[in-house]
């Protein structure tokens, strides 16, 4: 059986997601969230906005990499900005 070869960037990505989820759990326990409406057309909680932001970031990242010849760092920066915008104003 072949095992997946984890590279440092892959491990760092998944460790970052795990840290974000752990931080969101602690934040929710210390300060329960109230659903609100932002620019998204639905009422969302922090967790909803995190999920939507991560999903949108993944698609934006793939779109930028697939359609342009920009650096992967530009795609990562655009995705990070999208995630932060959704978390703050979504």
pLDDT digits (tens, 9 = 90+) for 17-75: 999 999 999 999 999 888 889 888 889 998 899 999 999 999 998 998 899 999 888 88
User: Would 63 be classed as within a structural domain?
Assistant: yes
In a domain, 1, yes or no: no
Tell me if 48 is assigned to some domain.
yes
CA 67, 85, 66 angle in degrees (round to 5)? 10
- Provide the pLDDT for residue 56: 93
- In the predicted model, is pLDDT for residue 6 greater than 90? no
* Strand stretches in 1-90, DSSP E: 36-37, 43-44
Distance (Å, whole) CA 25 – CA 74? 30
Q: Into how many domains does the chain fold?
A: 1
Q: Is residue 73 part of a domain?
A: yes
Domain assignment present for 2: no
Top-confidence residue, 6 or 61: 61
Q: What is the pLDDT of residue 75?
A: 87
Instruction: Name the residue range of residue 36's domain.
Output: 8-89
Asked whether residue 3 carries a pLDDT value surpassing 80, the answer given is no
SS3 content of the chain, % helix, strand, coil (to 5): 70, 5, 25
Is 3 part of a structural domain of the chain? no
Give the containing element (helix H, strand E) for 47: helix 46-67
Cα–Cα distance, 57 to 80 (Å, whole number): 7
75 domain residue, yes or no: yes
Instruction: Say what the pLDDT of residue 1 is.
Output: 64
The predicted model scores a pTM of 0.79
Burial class (CB in 10 A: 0-12, 13-18, 19+), 77: middle
The reply to whether 64 falls in a domain is yes
């Amino acid at each position: 059986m072949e095992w997946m070869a984890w590279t440092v960037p892959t491990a760092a990505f998944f460790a970052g997601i795990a840290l974000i989820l752990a931080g969101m759990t602690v934040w929710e326990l210390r300060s329960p969230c109230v659903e609100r409406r932002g620019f998204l057309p639905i009422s969302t909680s922090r967790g909803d906005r995190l999920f939507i932001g991560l999903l949108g970031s993944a698609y934006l990242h793939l779109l930028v990499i697939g359609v342009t010849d920009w650096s992967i760092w530009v795609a990562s920066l655009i995705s990070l900005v999208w995630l932060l915008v959704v978390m703050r104003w979504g």
